[in-house]
Amino acid sequence: MIYPQRTRTRDLFELNGIWDFARELDQGDYSNGFVPEKQVAVPSSYNDLFTEEEFRMHHAGVWYARKVTMPKMLKDERVVLRFNSVSYRGEAFLNGQRLGSHETGYTPFEFDVTDIIDFENENLITVRVENILSAETVPMGNLQNSPEPGQFAGQYPDTPFDFFPYAGIQRPVMIYTTSKTAWLDKVVVTTDVAGTTGTVNLTGEVAGSAAKAIFQCLETTVETPIADGGFSVSFDIENAKLWDVYQPNLYYVKIQILDATGNMLDEYTQRFGVRTVEVKGDRILLNGKPVYFQGFGRHEDFHISGKGLNHAVNVRDHELLKWINANSYRTTHYPYSEELIQLCDEQGILLISEAPAVSINFEFVTQKTLDAHLKVLAELIERDRNYPSVVMWSVANEATTNRPESIPYFKALSELVRSMDATRPVTMITCKAEEDMVMEFFDVVGVNLYPGWYHLPGQIASAKDDLRETLEKMYAKFKKPILITEFGADTIPGLHSLPAEQWSEEYQTELILGLIEVMRDLDYVVGEHIWNFADFRTAQNFVRVGGNKKGAFTRDRQPKMVCHFLKKLWAEPRYNA
């Protein structure tokens, strides 16, 4: 599945805007239309749009509907209806006919509707959305579990993770067209570098009946036959400009699919960057040079729109990342929108792309949990592997990996990733420190540690000692580079205290800078990702006053005190080689 675009052979238009909306309160035939209770924005989470509690917290079935008229000029084309994200489950209908369904919320799905779409009359699109989580969904929910590190309990709604379970059609809905005869269905780009020469390898799949493919990049043109519905081709770029941190050198290859007589059936432009990523000893190497990750965990979260795609917020967030001299972030704790990843490609920001498997609890895991996890992990890799900004895969965050049951589970996840992509390192983010039992399967140790907050509260000196002791134990056991993927403190903006006390801006600043001092004193630590980039909404519980306040920035993207100190610290990279 490739990201839709408009070309000489393809059309594309989005169905964003105002849709009709209703809760599923009875057993009626909603797929053929319904009396709307509300109007809803697409893309957006629906939870914070309305004033009534019964809408905000409704996680059972809700229905979306809108009508669309198709231009007759596309009547002879293949027509595809695509959803970039529907959380958690989406079931789509066109003119009352069921198209299919998808779950796990953050990856795209699409349907060929060529034989269903009506070019003479209006078409009715209806979508059933459900956000009921369980022990067999990824992420999990409604477990009624006991609390432990990485496992929240007793929240409203009942989630073991620490962010609000927003729902709805949260990313664009599109219709795109291709030729009915043949079309490019998949393309995979990998690159290598030898000296100043970049080697580009492309493989792909073509659906339908076609004879050959032509690839054009800069002054290079390569032609290859299509055999058994696929192709494989390589070419070199002399004096290649490498994609790097804040050096977003991008290349474009035009792919044309032709029939036996030379008629062009499809055309698609694939963007890519030439770069390499590897782990060597206690370093992560980008283009053969060590890179130190400085940045944040984040959330797709903003007032009113929730997790809905918000281009203005994405632009603001990246401007703040550049202002503070960050170079990276992790897509905590789910795949982010492709539009945001494309922005990272264009601006030279490093990404750790994470599956939506947060707080997996092996007291409740079943085979269906693993099946759902494997499925969405494969979808994530298929979607993101051509993006140069994605430099590492994260298979999960804060699972109960101190239990033996986790070993075969994470072995299966690691094997899947490596079978699909051998060009990037793989990590898993633990909160079990040296008690973790699955790090043998991963290249980089990702760890969330909160000394000075969840334990040793208010005691910064003791927190620094505790962090050093924990990291030394972890490195002695795992002998792999360690990336600190979460640390920090909740902070109320405008609250000050001298001497520093918890919740004050002084305490957040002193704790974060003190912990970074320890990290940078340990050679095997390869990065510091503060939790969190900005304050965000959570489920309701007594330790969360208006959400999680660990942001370096407020939810409306204004800096707290710590940002000014980080901006100075991060101005000079740790590694200059």
Q: By percentage, how much of the chain surpasses pLDDT 70?
A: 100
Domain spanning 182-272, CATH architecture: Sandwich (2.60)
CA distance 573 to 527: 11
Going through 304-463 in order, the beta strands assigned E by DSSP cover 328-330, 350-354, 390-397, 426-430, 444-448
State the pairing for strand pair 525-530/168-169. Answer: unpaired
Q: What is the mean pLDDT of the chain?
A: 96
Residue 9's pLDDT is: 97
Section 424-446 average pLDDT: 98
CA dist list (Å): 195 to 242, 288, 338, 356, 418: 11, 11, 32, 38, 26
> For the residues 191-220, what does the mean pLDDT come to?
97
Mean pLDDT, residues 304-323 taken together: 98
| 398 carries an active-site annotation | yes
Residue pair 437/406 in contact (Cβ under 8 Å)? The answer is: yes
Write down the pTM of the prediction. 0.96
- Spatial separation of the C-alpha atoms in residues 233 and 332, rounded to whole Å: 35
Q: Are 22 and 37 spatial neighbours (Cβ–Cβ below 8 Å)?
A: yes
What average pLDDT does this structure show over 349-353? 98
The CATH H-level (homologous superfamily) assignment of domain 297-569 is Glycosidases (3.20.20.80)
Residue 504: φ, ψ to 5°: -85, 160
Nearest one of 460, 567, 468, 459 to 519, comparing CA atoms: 468
Residue pLDDT, tens place only, 258-303:
999 999 999 999 999 999 999 999 999 999 999 999 999 999 999 9
Please state, in angstroms and rounded to a whole number, the distance separating the CA atoms of residues 229 and 217: 22
Q: Which fold has domain 17-131+167-171?
A: Jelly Rolls (2.60.120)
* Residues in Cβ contact with 215 at an 8 Å cutoff, skipping those fewer than 6 apart: 202, 221, 222, 223, 224, 233, 235, 253, 254, 255, 256
Residue 145 DSSP label: P
Q: How far apart are the first and last CA of the chain?
A: 39
Pair of tokens at residue 407: 């070993």
Measured CA to CA in angstroms, residue 485 lies from 97, 341, 449, 475 at distances of 45, 19, 8, 15
In this structure, of 112-121, 162-171, 377-386, 540-549, the range with the lowest mean pLDDT score is: 540-549
Helices 505-519 and 561-569 pack at an angle, to 10 degrees, of 20
Could you state, in order of their start, the residue ranges of all structural domains in the chain? Answer: 17-131+167-171, 182-272, 297-569
Look up residue 299 and give its amino acid: H
Give residues with Cβ within 8 angstroms of 131, minimum separation 6: 59, 87, 88, 89, 165, 167
pLDDT the model gives residue 420: 98
Please check whether residue 492 is in contact with residue 547, taking contact to mean a CB–CB distance below 8 angstroms.
no
pLDDT in tens, 52-95: 999 999 999 999 999 999 999 999 999 999 999 999 999 999 99
Q: Quick one: pLDDT at residue 334?
A: 97
What are the strands, taking DSSP E only, across 273-398?
Answer: 277-280, 283-286, 289-290, 293-297, 328-330, 350-354, 390-397
Instruction: Please report, as a single letter, which amino acid is at residue 323.
Output: W
Residue 77 falls in the annotated catalytic set: no
**Model pLDDT, residue 151:** 82
- What band does 44 get if pLDDT is binned at 50, 70 and 90? very high
Contact in structure between 332 and 297 (CB atoms under 8 Å): yes
Query: Residue 479: is its pLDDT beyond 80?
Result: yes
Q: Catalytic one among 77, 486, 505, 510?
A: 486
Residue 464, SS3 per DSSP = helix
8 Å CB contact between 349 and 296: no
**Res 149: pLDDT:** 78
What are the structure tokens assigned to 523, written together?
């050679």
What pLDDT does 576 receive? 67
Contacts of 421 (CB under 8 A, 6+ apart): 381, 385, 393
- Measured CA angle at 546 (ends 540, 547), to 5 deg: 70
Peptide bond into 425 cis (omega under 30): no
The pair of three-digit structure tokens given for residue 123, joined into one six-digit string: 């078409």
DSSP state string for 167-196: -EE-S-EEEEEE-SSEEEEEEEEEEEEETT
**What is the CB-side half-sphere exposure of residue 473 using CA atoms within 13 A?**
12
Q: What is the pLDDT of residue 98?
A: 98
Q: Of 103, 267, 398, 528, which residue is the catalytic one?
A: 398
Q: Which residues of 481-509 are buried (b: 16+ CB within 10 A; e: fewer)?
A: bbbbbbbbbbbbbebeeeebebbbbbbbb
Q: Hey, is 309 helix, strand or coil? A: coil
What letter would DSSP give residue 250?
-
Confidence band of 200 (pLDDT split at 50, 70, 90) = very high
Coil, strand or helix at 72: helix
Place 153 in a pLDDT band, splitting at 50, 70 and 90: confident
How does pLDDT run across 481-497, given as a tens digit for each residue? 999 999 999 999 999 99
Tokens standing for 103?
A: 């779950």
Residues in the chain, how many?
577
**What mean pLDDT comes out for the span 120-140?**
97
Residue 577 pLDDT > 70:
no
How far is CA 572 from each of CA 324, 327, 492, 569, 575, rounded to the nearest angstrom?
A: 11, 11, 29, 7, 9
